Amino acid sequence: MGILLAGVHCVLGLTWLTFLIFGLGFASKWLKSAPSLRILDRITGTVVIGFGLRLALEPRH
């Protein structure tokens, strides 16, 4: 039973990674463009500011 579960896990992992590789291959052209980099920078900055605000507003004990 353990070998079967390990095999299923291996097949699922290989399937997921295959889709991920091909998906990123198709998305790489969009990810290298200037507008997408600007969008990703803004999203990342917003997340970092949000984490900083959450940390700053957290009550201290």
Note whether 19 and 13 are within 8 A (CB). no
Q: Taking 90 as the threshold, does the pLDDT of residue 61 lie above it?
A: no
Report the chain's mean pLDDT, rounded to a whole number. Answer: 93
Give the total number of structural domains in the chain: 1
List the domain range (segments joined by +) for residue 35. Answer: 2-57
Which pLDDT value is given to residue 42? Answer: 97
13-40 pLDDT, tens digit per residue, is 999 999 999 998 888 888 888 998 999 9
Which pLDDT value is given to residue 32? Answer: 86
**CA–CA–CA angle 33, 17, 37 (5° rounding):** 15
Which pLDDT value is given to residue 26? Answer: 84
Q: What kind and span of H or E run contains 32?
A: none
Which pLDDT value is given to residue 20? Answer: 94
Tracing tokens 């091909």 back to the chain, one arrives at 22
Taking the C-alpha atoms of residue 26 and residue 19, their distance in angstroms, rounded to an integer, is 11
